[in-house]
Chains A and B, each alone.
Chain A
């Protein structure tokens, strides 16, 4: 991102930067100015490099709280926890948008101002580049030895021939040339490296493109989550999704009508050594149709290997255990028989928690809170999981009876039991091995732990801004490399007749002066280029002397 604004005293721009000097840059405080002048002044301030630097700083600084405080977008649970542990501070932080920094108005203000500043610079500069591509390099200065790089030597060629030879050499290196219009002067102006400016502009415009692409994805894309128990199927419709985050211009009708069945999920773990318990592979075997009733295809989902279907991508994000419970109520009727996904925390070897809600039980509704332990061990009287694979699965259950509160109109989480209108049936958690069952007191029925199946959680995304963002990102990188590796430079050659030489009065005689300057030779090497160019010009001249 170097110097999209020209550095001060740039020899490559004849006109001084507007707004840098001159009466147009008056401080509005110093005199009476109208609104238009104030706006002009503000715009000039905004597009100055100094303000751009300040905005870059603010952008960096503003991002910091987004990584230190929990964010709504990535960690909503963390935000709730923060509210609970810092009840006085959290509401203030929330007012400042610090729990959703990257969507906060002030953050948007910073980057929009930065991009406005960028546009205010890039657009005039594009015009200037187009202008300089049409005009020739400037006339050669009179005294080339005053330039940063210079060389001087004698040749027996006439000035006209020497200048012609120099022009041929420079043209052979791809320089754009300018020759004198009239007679009497012999010089060559040569310029090269316009791609540097092109790269610089490309880089900055591509950054704008990235911003637009991100906005595109936010408006027209969506993200959805779905937990899928092994052996079950779901269709990509709004009601079948656990969570759906549509963009502003996305409706339920935009969802792809594909269906996915999880046939089998396998997780394997390292069983020995220091890394014991660390996962070594996940593998979800699925079958899918692009629309209900369509041909069934089989595929595998792995981490880092999403499935592309119907314009959306499906990712394997997480997994866990779903113990299967069979509940019989007081009448002896089976009122519940299904796999129930339990959720594990980040640690604890898949010690997972969940609830069973039996709304159809008679005479009262039944509810259970449970813990599933894949490899159960007792450590000091506390149930713990020693390994993430289900080597010794155990569930621990607490039973409740009463009203589940499902008809209150308040949506309930399937992972939480509202026990406000329920009474606890068992005094302590009851442990069950697969196949075992628990008889509830007072003839309320029984609950059997019949087995377990794995579940996988899938994320479905559609982001139309993705490809544009990638293209713009790569264009920015290409522009960056161009602007860093190409240097814009000018080389001038001026030949003057210098009178007869000592001892050879009959020979024609010329003095060749070469001068060169590079504009921001950041990657270095112009001095070497100039030295070898000067040597080449000289040897070309001395070759022609021999002819």
Chain B
């Protein structure tokens, strides 16, 4: 079936729209840092204390609502669980853990800048999804058959996934970093490796393209978010250590408004835990496809080798977090090394090292 060029142009237009809207959302996230209500105004003095508390992640960045959500382990003040009538004639004050605020209500209580940024992110995601879908309709296949399409799809996954994370875990203080990275990646794809809509070589004409590359795209998008969170973690950790060493003023700049390093750490860990099985599935699906196409399920082709290296490094990250002496900073370096190997695979191995996976379509 011939490529629908008009629809291909529609896709490009929507992608540029998404890029613009994402940029505006980054501006709004930054605006929240600059002009938004201070998140921890009430607890500025106890900020360090709050950092040490491995409390509910749910209270992260819940603007004015944060003080209203006491950590589950605190005893007084008493507050009844919603819906449960308090026992008649209580002798001692009750302490019940708070059932977490529904995420969307938490968004309602966030600042104006955050609401604007989230709305813009959602609008950007919508335009991005339309761009990816129209590209797929234009070429009559899954729209991740070359490098340009792969990057646009993986940034779409990253944006959707992070939008979900931001709302579920109230982690919008991290929005400026992740959405900023999405803008940079998408902008580079648009300017450096733009490839017009086209057909695929016979080797890629298989429904395994849909399965294998979709899984790899999903996993890469999720690992992308984890990598940005890892960088934020390292920056926050560095700042916390400087403060502890008395070398820097506590409470300066952006880092003060971030969630605690424990919370960033846990969020990163969960993100990797989400991506790792997807990556594993992608590797298995790739092995099945390789068996269909090349007559062996694993042949240490350069791209296969680097997918293996990436898998091993992320596995090492997951293990490192359960090993004394490797938690925290070192574990995150491993995680970033894993993402670096993933990027090396996409940007260097697939383009410059001859192998069976040379489909990048980058000239």
Contact = CB atoms under 8 A, between A and B. Distances in A.
Contact of A151 (B92, B97, B295): B97
B167 interface: no
B96 A1 contact: no
Looking at B97, B291, B324, the one whose CB has the most chain A CB atoms below 10 A away is B97
Contact of A522 (B57, B270, B312): B270
Interface in A498-535: 498-499, 501-504, 507, 509, 511, 520, 522-524, 527-528, 530-532, 534-535
Interface string B317-333: 01111111110000000
A532 B341 CA distance: 42
A273 interface: yes
Interface stretch (B10-18, B153-161, B296-304): B296-304
Contacts of A477: 277, 280-281, 284
B273 interface: yes
Interface in A292-323: 302-306, 313, 315, 317
Contacts of B92: 152, 154, 498, 511
B34 interface: no
Contacts of B24: none
A183 interface: no
B91 A527 contact: no
A3 B57 contact: no
B91 A57 contact: no
Interface in A459-510: 459-461, 463, 466, 469-470, 473-474, 476-477, 480-481, 484, 498-499, 501-504, 507, 509
A248 to B, nearest CB: 17
Looking at B85, B203, B305, B325, the one whose CB has the most chain A CB atoms below 10 A away is B305
Contacts of B293: 303-304, 315
B83 interface: yes
Contacts of A507: 89
The binding surface of chain A is classed by DSSP as mixed
A60 B316 contact: yes
B188 interface: no
A56 B56 contact: no
Interface string B245-277: 000000000000000000000100110010011
B198 A476 contact: no
Interface string B177-206: 000000000000000000010110111011
Contacts of B315: 1, 56
B90 interface: yes
Contact of A317 (B83, B86, B292, B294): B294
A279 interface: yes
A427 interface: no
A270 B81 CA distance: 68
Contacts of A50: 323, 325-326
B114 interface: no
B354 interface: yes
B50 interface: no
B44 interface: no
A531 B100 contact: yes
Contacts of A223: 295-296
A148 B86 CA distance: 24
Nearest to A54: B316
Contacts of A303: 202-203, 205, 293
Contacts of B318: 1-2
A476 B299 CA distance: 20
Interface string B213-231: 0000000000000000000
Given A50-B323, A303-B203, A484-B273, A102 B90 contact: no
A154 B325 contact: no
A52 B322 CA distance: 12
Contacts of B355: 74
B309 A145 contact: no
Nearest to B298: A214
Contacts of B269: 522
A274 B96 CA distance: 67
Given A499-B91, A523-B270, A527-B97, A74 B301 contact: yes
B88 interface: yes
A480 B199 contact: no
Contacts of B126: none
B362 interface: no
A49 B305 contact: no
A82 interface: no
B287 interface: yes
B288 interface: yes
A528 B99 contact: yes
Contact of A63 (B58, B81, B280, B308): B308
A67 interface: yes
A145 B349 CA distance: 55
A527 to B, nearest CB: 5
A3 B319 contact: yes
A493 B116 CA distance: 45
B284 A282 contact: no
Contacts of B306: 63, 67
Contact of A304 (B87, B97, B292, B322): B292
Contact of B196 (A2, A75, A152, A274): A274
Contact of B295 (A66, A305, A313, A484): A313
A155 interface: yes
Nearest to B195: A274
A304 B280 contact: no
B225 to A, nearest CB: 16
B277 A481 contact: yes
Given A154-B89, A469-B287, A522-B270, 14 more contacts: A8-B324, A74-B299, A156-B89, A275-B199, A281-B202, A304-B205, A315-B293, A460-B295, A481-B277, A523-B270, A535-B96, A538-B96, A539-B83, A545-B87
The 10 closest A-B pairs by CB, nearest first: A3-B322, A501-B89, A531-B97, A67-B302, A67-B305, A304-B206, A153-B94, A315-B295, A535-B81, A154-B87
6 contacts: A75-B354, A102-B300, A156-B87, A470-B284, A470-B297, A499-B91
Interface of A: 1-3, 5, 7-8, 49-50, 52-53, 56-57, 59-60, 63-64, 66-68, 71, 73-75, 101-102, 145, 148-156, 214, 223, 270, 273-275, 278-282, 302-306, 313, 315, 317, 346, 459-461, 463, 466, 469-470, 473-474, 476-477, 480-481, 484, 498-499, 501-504, 507, 509, 511, 520, 522-524, 527-528, 530-532, 534-535, 538-539, 542, 545
